[in-house]
Amino acid sequence: MKTAVTAGGPGLESRLDPRFGRCSHFVVVDTGTGESRVIDNEVNLNASRGAGIQTAENLSRQGVEAVITGHCGPKAFRVLKAAGIKIYLAGEGTVAQVLEEFKKGLLEEAPGADVDGHWS
Amino acid sequence: MATGLTVAVASGKGGTGKTTVSTNLALAAAAAGDEVAYADCDVEEPNGHLFLKPRIDRRRKVYVPVPRVDPEKCTACGTCAEICRFGAIAVVAGQVMTFESMCHGCGGCLLACPVQAIEESGREIGVVEEGSSDGVAFTHGRLNVGEAMSPPLIREVRYAANGPAIIDAPPGTSCPVITAVRGADFVLLVTDPTPFGLHDLRLTLDMVRELGLPHAVVVNRSVPGNRLARDFCLDLGVSLLAEIPDDRRVAAAYSRGETAFGTVPGYREHFAGLWKAVKREAGWR
């Protein structure tokens, strides 16, 4: 499953960024093959508005199937859901650590937005 | 049909006295026999009505157009999402999603859609209320709580106050203020004589100069011996039309919802003088 983790930097050792639309990078790992790549999200990090929507749209275009993040607002949630992307919420840790938790089935799928927009 | 002067009262900083100056100035203009209306464009927190106490006799809702996509006609080509500079449209998994709260109602998506799958429907953002108060025609807008899109409502307030008016602008220097002051004959910049007030006055000054609007400054709550505002105006080459003195009785009247013009001795003359100075500076009469 192509899984994108919201990250504060471009690698597996970067910290999980709890923000979805305004994280600086996504580390995308195919949990089946172990292949990984990085999506630079700087354009949305600096967007004046609609960061969550644009970010979700972009992930959909990139063929991402699941997202691991700290929090997810209502607009981003709506787009991710429409795109069929599953959302998992994690606490603190590195990208590698939360991916490990995800593979062990320790992360729960979010049933809805867990924060209002512009929470951070 | 310029039968009078439209003066916008603006300031970068909040709490300088825009509403005090504009309500009192409207009363002074009416007392001078000039045709005048008061238009409260501070639609997020209108409060001119507390002082002018108008009788409201017309009220109408204001809507912004938002796109409605016909899924039968839509091919999910994404042209609408590409053209939307407000990020109000997303296309995912072959379907178009619209976000009404982000839409500015520009109508671009409607024009760009190659298969005419978009039509407009309305989203209510607030109301315009009109009435009158002691010879002053009164108009204001009330933006719905939680609504971010104030310029379309401000435009409706300006449109409703069609004729010579004192425009009470919102604070700041961004879109709502520009919408409120654009097209005015003259902009009166209110400041208090503090470093904070003057810092924000400078921003507002840059804004009106950029817009090419004639303007001048009035100092509110002026204190004897404080030359900050006077020196600032000299340095920047902007006219200072009047200094309204600080007086506890003005604050007391304000707290009771009364105008200084109507209740505090000497202030009728201060605002009559200011109105005269505005007319002279604007080259009207």
Residue range A66-85, pLDDT digits in tens: 999 999 999 999 999 999 99
Q: Using CA atoms, how far apart are residues A85 and A72, in angstroms rounded to an integer?
A: 13
Average pLDDT, chain B: 95
Residue B2 has pLDDT above 60, yes or no: no
Q: How confident is the model over B190-201, as pLDDT tens digits? A: 999 999 999 999
A56 domain-assigned:
yes
**For chain B, percent of residues with pLDDT exceeding 90:** 91
Q: How confident is the model over B67-118, as pLDDT tens digits? A: 999 999 999 999 999 999 899 999 998 999 999 988 988 999 999 999 999 9
pLDDT score of B154: 97
Give the type of residue at B206: D
A57 domain-assigned:
yes
| Residue pair A1/A31 in contact by the 8 Å Cβ criterion | yes
Give the pLDDT band of residue B1 (cuts 50, 70, 90).
Answer: very low
Instruction: Give A-chain residues touching B88 at CB under 8 angstroms.
Output: 50
Q: Do A82 and B92 touch (CB under 8 A)?
A: yes
3-state class (DSSP) for residue B10: strand
Distance (Å) from the alpha carbon of A27 to chain B's nearest alpha carbon: 21
| Residue pair A17/A1 in contact by the 8 Å Cβ criterion | no
* Minimal Cβ distance to A54: which of B87, B93, B95: B87
Instruction: Give B-chain residues touching A54 at CB under 8 angstroms.
Output: 87, 90
Instruction: Give A-chain residues touching B90 at CB under 8 angstroms.
Output: 53-54, 56-57, 79
Residue B228 has pLDDT above 70, yes or no: yes
Q: Do B102 and A49 touch (CB under 8 A)?
A: yes
Q: Say whether residue A79 is in contact with chain B using an 8 A CB cutoff.
A: yes
What pTM, to 2 d.p., does this model score?
A: 0.79
Q: Say whether residue A49 is in contact with chain B using an 8 A CB cutoff.
A: yes
pLDDT score of B7: 98
Q: Strand B37-40: give its sheet, edge to edge.
A: B55-69, B118-133, B136-143, B37-40, B165-168, B7-10, B186-191, B215-222, B240-245
Q: Using CA atoms, how far apart are residues B51 and A103, in angstroms rounded to an integer?
A: 65
Q: Say whether residue B92 is in contact with chain A using an 8 A CB cutoff.
A: yes
The CATH number assigned to the domain holding A35 equals 3.30.420.130
Distance (Å) from the alpha carbon of B60 to chain A's nearest alpha carbon: 30
Q: Using CA atoms, how far apart are residues B92 and B109, in angstroms rounded to an integer?
A: 17
Q: How confident is the model over B124-168, as pLDDT tens digits? A: 999 999 999 988 999 999 999 989 889 999 999 999 998 899 999
A109 domain-assigned:
no
A72 domain-assigned:
yes
| Residue pair A49/A117 in contact by the 8 Å Cβ criterion | no
Q: Do B87 and A82 touch (CB under 8 A)?
A: no
| DSSP per position, A79-100 | HHHHTT-EEEE--SSBHHHHHH
Q: Measured on CA atoms in the order B170, B171, B176, B178, is the torsion positive or negative? A: positive
Instruction: Give A-chain residues touching B81 at CB under 8 angstroms.
Output: 57
Which one of A75, A81, A85 would you mutate to disrupt binding with B, by most B Cβ within 10 Å of its Cβ?
A75
Q: How confident is the model over B230-250, as pLDDT tens digits? A: 999 999 999 999 999 999 999
Q: Say whether residue B90 is in contact with chain A using an 8 A CB cutoff.
A: yes
* The pair of three-digit structure tokens given for residue B105, joined into one six-digit string: 């109602």
A54 domain-assigned:
yes
Q: Say whether residue B96 is in contact with chain A using an 8 A CB cutoff.
A: no
Residue B262 has pLDDT above 60, yes or no: yes
Which one of B74, B86, B92 would you mutate to disrupt binding with A, by most A Cβ within 10 Å of its Cβ?
B92
Q: Say whether residue A87 is in contact with chain B using an 8 A CB cutoff.
A: no
* The pair of three-digit structure tokens given for residue B38, joined into one six-digit string: 């008061």
pLDDT score of B3: 67
Split into its structural domains, chain A has a count of 1
Domain limits at A6?
2-103
Residues 6+ apart with CB under 8 A from B177: B10, B169, B170, B171, B204, B207
* Minimal Cβ distance to A79: which of B86, B97, B102: B97
Q: Using CA atoms, how far apart are residues A29 and A19, in angstroms rounded to an integer?
A: 19
Instruction: Find how far residue A56's CA is from the centre of its chain.
Output: 9
A117 domain-assigned:
no
Q: What part of B 53-82 touches A (C-beta under 8 Å)? A: 81
Divide the 120 residues of chain A into consecutive groups of 10 and give the mean pLDDT of each group. 96 95 96 94 88 94 96 95 96 95 94 82
A81 domain-assigned:
yes
* Minimal Cβ distance to B93: which of A54, A75, A84: A84
